[in-house]
């Protein structure tokens, strides 16, 4: 990995901080310049605005749906609050400026050239981001199935007590998060190194 960083440092013209942050792109190609500008506009200007609005919306959703009067109403609010919580964690993970190894820098072709950064990107960043996004998808699927059961079998859903139903929902959420992280955990242990050919 250190050899790749050395090649990147020698071939790249855009150097942010020596030996720490490099642009891994070929800036000489005209097409790549346009794509690079488009990525910059998309991920550094537009995306933070959308993500900031989404974070505010998720926070307001969590606060509203966890109010005591809302908790007593319907179980669907539990699904919506867990969905908002999962999305909030995903947004904060991807775009949090506090994390110096943010995955958004990887998309913009800025890569930290250190062993710690290589370990983080390979074994933590991508498996964690996929697990969080997968958990969000499974929450939506469970919410859909729960609504299907409530519409098609209304008497069956009323036969159980509210506390039993809510315990079952919380167990489903624990299973979702546990299974998603277990699915992507082996991916974080991949140790196959591929040779890269440079032109």
pLDDT in tens, 31-90: 556 667 777 787 778 887 888 899 999 999 999 988 888 766 778 888 899 999 999 988
Output the pLDDT for position 19. 43
Q: Is 11 exposed, middle or buried (0-12, 13-18, 19+ CB in 10 A)?
A: middle
In a domain, 199, yes or no: no
Pick from 90, 63, 88: which is nearest to 77 by CA?
A: 63
Query: Is it the case that residue 140 has pLDDT exceeding 90?
Result: yes
Whether the CB-CB separation of 21 and 110 falls below 8 Å is answered with yes
Asked whether residue 193 is assigned to any structural domain, the reply reads no
Whole domain around residue 79: which residue ranges? 2-188
Look at residue 197 and tell me if it is in a domain.
Answer: no
Q: Is residue 194 part of a domain?
A: no
Q: Which of 193 and 95 is assigned the larger pLDDT?
A: 95
Q: What is the mean pLDDT of residues 117-137?
A: 80
As to burial, measured by CB atoms within 10 angstroms (0-12 exposed, 13-18 middle, 19+ buried), residue 156 is: exposed
Structural domain count, the chain: 1
Query: Tokens 């050395």 belong to which residue?
Result: 6
Domain assignment present for residue 29? The answer is: yes
> What's the mean pLDDT in 175-186?
88
pLDDT at residue 52 in the model? 86
Residue at 149 is within a domain: yes
13 within domain boundaries: yes
The pTM (predicted TM-score) of the whole model is 0.67
Q: Which two tokens stand for residue 133?
A: 């996004």
> Would you say residue 34 lies in a domain?
yes
């Amino acid at each position: 990995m250190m050899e790749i960083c050395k090649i990147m440092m020698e071939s790249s013209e855009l150097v942010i901080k020596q030996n720490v942050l490099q642009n891994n792109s070929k800036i000489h190609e005209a097409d790549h310049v346009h794509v690079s500008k488009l990525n910059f506009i998309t991920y550094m200007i537009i995306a933070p605005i959308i993500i900031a609005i989404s974070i505010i919306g998720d926070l307001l959703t969590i606060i509203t749906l966890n109010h005591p009067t809302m908790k007593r109403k319907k179980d669907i609010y539990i699904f919506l609050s867990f969905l908002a919580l999962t999305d909030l964690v995903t947004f904060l993970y991807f775009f949090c400026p506090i994390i110096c190894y943010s995955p958004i820098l990887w998309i913009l072709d800025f890569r930290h050239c250190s062993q710690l950064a290589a370990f983080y990107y390979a074994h933590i960043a991508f498996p964690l981001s996929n697990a969080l996004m997968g958990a969000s998808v499974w929450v939506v699927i469970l919410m859909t199935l729960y609504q299907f059961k409530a519409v098609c079998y209304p008497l069956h859903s009323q036969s159980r007590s509210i506390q039993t139903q809510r315990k079952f929902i919380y167990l489903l959420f624990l299973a979702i998060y546990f299974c998603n992280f277990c699915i992507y955990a082996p991916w974080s242990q991949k140790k196959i190194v591929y040779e890269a050919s440079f032109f």
